[in-house]
Amino acid sequence: MALNIKPLGARVVIKAQEAETVTKSGIFIPDSAKEKPLRGEVMAAGNGTKDEAMELKVGDVVLYGKYAGTKIEYDGQEYLIMNQSDVLAII
């Protein structure tokens, strides 16, 4: 899906993956007990800055901090815009 958002500098746009609804052992998790997902897919990436090269690319699946990013809604979908430095790892 082409996203018409171009983040500036060392920022990325991430689409959070859905929270698990069933544990590996088969136990269903109610909505009230679900935690905010901490992984997502990079949908768009900036060019980086002169001090920080962009290491992430579109399609990377990443882990990020619990309170990282700013929520936005675009074309009915929710995304997070965050600095590349808020991303903890590529998985």
Boundaries of domain holding 26: 11-90
- Angstrom distance (rounded) from CA 35 to CA 87: 18
Residue 3 lies in a domain: no
Residue 59 has what pLDDT? 94
User: Which of these, 67, 57, 62, 52, lies nearest to 87 by C-alpha position?
Assistant: 62
28 is a domain residue = yes
Instruction: Please give the chain's pLDDT, 91 residues, in tens.
Output: 567 889 999 999 999 887 666 667 777 666 555 556 689 999 999 999 999 999 999 999 999 988 889 999 998 899 999 999 999 999 9
How confident is the model at residue 29, as a pLDDT?
Answer: 61
State the CATH number of the domain containing residue 39: 2.30.33.40
Task: Write down the pLDDT at residue 17.
Answer: 82
C-alpha neighbours within 13 Å on the C-beta side of residue 74: 17
Q: What is the pTM of this model?
A: 0.79
* Amino acid at the residue 75: D
